Amino acid sequence: MTTYAIPDDVSFTGAWWLPTGVTRKIPGTLAWSKNKAALELHDSFIPLRSGPLLQSSQPQPVIHGTTTDSKLVSVLDASWSRGNVSFGQAGMQRPESFLSHMVAIGAHVDKETLYTEVRVRIPGLQTLLGIGWIEETLVQKTEHSPACMIYRANGVQEERIGIPPISATLGWGIDRHFSGDRLTKLSITSAAHLRIAPDQPRNLDWFFEQLFKVTTLLAFIAGAPMIADQVTVKVAASNADAHLLVGWNNPVYCPHRNAHEFFLLRGTMAVNLDAMFQTWFRTYDTVAAPSQLALSVLSSEKPWIHVEFLLLMQALEGFHRAVADGTYMSPDDYESVRHALATAIPASVGANHRDALKSRIKYGNELSLRKRLHDLAGRLDAPLRERIFGGTGTVPPKWVATRNYYTHWDEASRNDALDTQGMYNATVRLRHFLRVLYLDFVGVPQEAIAKALDGTNAESQHLLQINHPAASFGYVNVSSTDMAESKAEKSN
């Protein structure tokens, strides 16, 4: 069975039609490239009529097709791109084009189609989980036989995790593909997969929602995006397998190829994978919105340093709002304070000014950003705080001053704001702070996180270099006593 990967270009030539209305089959070519599909038709779905020209310029929920090599294809959520009228010896035709970010190959489906499972391939997942290694054994030369190399690809039973909050099962396994003639060459391709199988059939939106939850947590663990580059679904009605080409919002795939490049590996997390994912799914709704912002900024292609700094601060504030009490006193107790302050506004204050003051009083019970950051830091033990913040292991005051200056243009904070180099160093620390909070949230022991911060992955090495600027180039190895060196770091 032919498989299709999202990053690869592919095209399909055949006949295309709308499943409702006038069933008019039009020849054309569908080309998938750069995260989107373009369907170029030779004519219009709506036939020519006398009078004003009609065009099917409205979006189409689904367009079905059959290719010249007998494949079933469906283009979902197709938007009309362009159309024109051409005149020639063959008469008059109106070719038109559609764009889409989702194509199904292997079955005719629509947005209401239900599926029994989704299976995805995620680059880097095999190494992250530590499964499916191919063993290599050198057999030494003897008097009676030459030296040889033996390769062994052991079978791996799919590991399954029950997720009660969504009434589904997650499966982790290995797919292998063998090719070659066995005489002159042999190739083994090995890749890990994730299977999501609900107790009852679901639509694509449900599957993608659960997939996003899984890949978000995997990204926090890996220290890199963990987006699927291949998607297969099983149609409930026919039990047929279909491949999906999906235009992800941010199609950046895991670049790590070696174990030392990952922030954490399954073997170093010191927590049961079942318990971690069950906790994540049980509590995900609490942190759904801030986790999306956190994932976005951690996976971004390095925006301007000022933008990254502000986004990281916003993501930290969002996490605190999601998991902690963010008020100085109970709302009921504050109501009397709010009323007294609002009543005390002098009558001479103008209407617009009065509304602005009342708005500030309304939110006057919410914790300041400084207090929120210190509360978040308090969730971490001293070894983690010393690594992340440097110095005495406390949140640097300049972080809040910098945020206030670039958010409110508060001149009183300008002299206390970080310079460019200080802001760059702060973003390195903030990225670790944010990731560590989410890992601690799902139950990864802080001792395991501290070891990861001293690890060989690039981001941890970057933090170590900032904490120990006098260290030589290459991997920096730091013992617990060496952390005293970071206490001499300046506040910015």
pLDDT tens figures, 350-398:
889 988 888 888 878 888 999 999 999 999 999 999 999 998 899 999 9
Cβ neighbours of residue 86 under 8 Å, at least 6 residues apart? 92, 93, 94, 95
pLDDT at 437 over 80: yes
Percent of the chain with pLDDT over 90: 63
Q: Tell me, what's the pLDDT at 84?
A: 66
pLDDT over 80 (residue 60): yes
201 with 115: CB under 8 angstroms?
yes
Interval 245-257: pLDDT, tens: 999 988 889 999 8
Report the pLDDT value the prediction gives residue 50, as an integer from 0 to 100. Answer: 45
Q: Name the token pair of 438.
A: 């989410």
Q: What mean pLDDT is reported for the chain?
A: 88
User: Which residue in the block uniquely carries the two structure tokens 């008097």?
Assistant: 143
Q: Yes or no: say if 322 and 287 are a contact pair by the CB < 8 Å rule.
A: yes
In this prediction, residue 472 has a pLDDT band, given cuts at 50, 70 and 90, of: low
Tokens, residue 467: 């904490």
**Residue 303 per-residue DSSP state:** -
| Residue given tokens 């070719």 in the structure block | 95
Q: Residues 6 or more apart from 3 whose CB is under 8 A from it?
A: 230, 232, 243
| Residue 49 confidence (pLDDT) | 55
**Residue 471: what residue type?**
A
Cα gap 238→418, rounded to integer Å? 61
Q: What is the structure's pLDDT at 81?
A: 82
Whether the predicted pLDDT of 483 surpasses 70: no
How far is it, in rounded angstroms, from Cα 341 to Cα 345? 7
Mean of the pLDDT values across residues 267-274? 92
| CA dihedral over 303, 308, 314, 316, signed as positive or negative | positive
Average pLDDT for 257-284? 94
* Strand extents, DSSP E, 341-488: none
Residues in Cβ contact with 452 at an 8 Å cutoff, skipping those fewer than 6 apart: 263, 264, 268, 460
Distance from chain centroid for Cα 246: 14
Assess contact for 41 and 97: CB atoms under 8 A. yes
If you count them, how many residues does the chain have? 492
Q: Which residues contact residue 422 at a Cβ distance below 8 angstroms, ignoring those fewer than 6 apart?
A: 398, 492
How far from 233 is each of 395, 412, 489, CA to CA, in Å?
47, 57, 53
Band of pLDDT at residue 168, cut at 50, 70 and 90: very high
In whole angstroms, give the CA distance from residue 323 to residue 441. Answer: 9
pLDDT in tens, 198-236: 999 999 999 999 999 999 999 999 999 999 999 999 999
Cα 215 to Cα 225: distance, rounded to the nearest angstrom = 8
Q: How many CA atoms lie within 13 A of 471 on its CB side?
A: 20
Q: Quick check: 100 and 75 in contact, CB under 8 A?
A: yes
- The percent of residues in the chain predicted with pLDDT above 70, rounded, is 90
Q: Is the pLDDT of residue 461 over 90?
A: yes
